[in-house]
Structure 1
């Protein structure tokens, strides 16, 4: 196996199956927002020249929404530290968290409101907060 991150074929298949966009939580939030009459961009880079894409973007309201996976972004409730190949995953996950903070700073400096939610949060409650920000 060429990939240094995969400790087994099962791990490799599991990790390759992870989606970058259109996760079940993201789709549920988008359905809820759409049912409320809100229209948005999906997987959109709000600031030209910065290679960071928001999951849901309201361009007129300048609201960028990220729905972060508990494992990948270090959820304090559900984030876990892999036991196998920890020398690879520890720095990788820490870099994800730092990149999230850097993204927030770049977008806020450009006049965007950044909203972050965890994948385990209820889609309806997430949509309530997003709607309030977009309409308010």
Structure 2
């Protein structure tokens, strides 16, 4: 299907997309209600994680099926394929670079697809909570000298 907008209109529309989505807001409200305190979209951290708890070295990314090329739901646009192939391939490469950065730094990193929340919202939020709790236990174990390894 041909794009119904001119290139100028498309550019203007795309430039107005913001870092937060309604889904991310629902997720962060659910986590806040469970008692977790965190920062959203921390720009000084690599990759601008959607949720960050620096005290426990936890970063959580909620990846869109389109922009991060979900193996189940990601689809490649039919028009302007050269641009989109390059754009989406670079997004996937950047995700791998970000993951490596946090793993090398001893952080707990969790990536969830948007469809995981659409299929089972409470279950996905519970998995994030489990990751945070595990990171807390590790932080407390480090205080007493216990060597424990865990990654979300």
Normalised by the shorter chain, which TM-score bucket?
Answer: 0.7 to 0.9
Number of positions where the alignment pairs a residue of Structure 1 with one of Structure 2:
127
The 8 Å contact of residues 46 and 59 in structure 1, kept in 2 or not, is answered as no
Counting only pairs closer than 5 Å after superposition, residues 39-118 of structure 1 correspond to structure 2 as 39-45=37-43, 47=45, 51-118=46-113
Aligned-partner Cα distance in 1 for 2:133–2:98:
23
The answer to which structure has the higher helix fraction is 2
Aligned-partner Cα distance in 1 for 2:44–2:31:
19
Are 2:5 and 1:8 equivalent residues in the alignment? Answer: yes
Structure 1 alignment gaps of length 5 or more: 1-5
Over alpha carbons, which structure has the higher Rg? 2
Stretch deviating more after TM superposition (7-16 or 68-77): 7-16
Corresponding residue number in structure 1 for 2:125: 127
Which protein has greater RCO, CA pairs closer than 8 Å, 6+ apart? 1
RMSD: 2.0
Residues 46 and 131 of structure 1: is their aligned pair in 2 closer, same or farther, counting only changes over 3 Å? farther
1:94-125, CA deviations, whole angstroms, 9 ceiling, x for partnerless residues?
00001001100001101111100111222322
Q: Tell me the TM-score normalized by structure 2.
A: 0.75
Structure 2 alignment gaps of length 5 or more: 135-152
Aligned-partner Cα distance in 2 for 1:29–1:76:
22
The 8 Å contact of residues 32 and 127 in structure 1, kept in 2 or not, is answered as yes
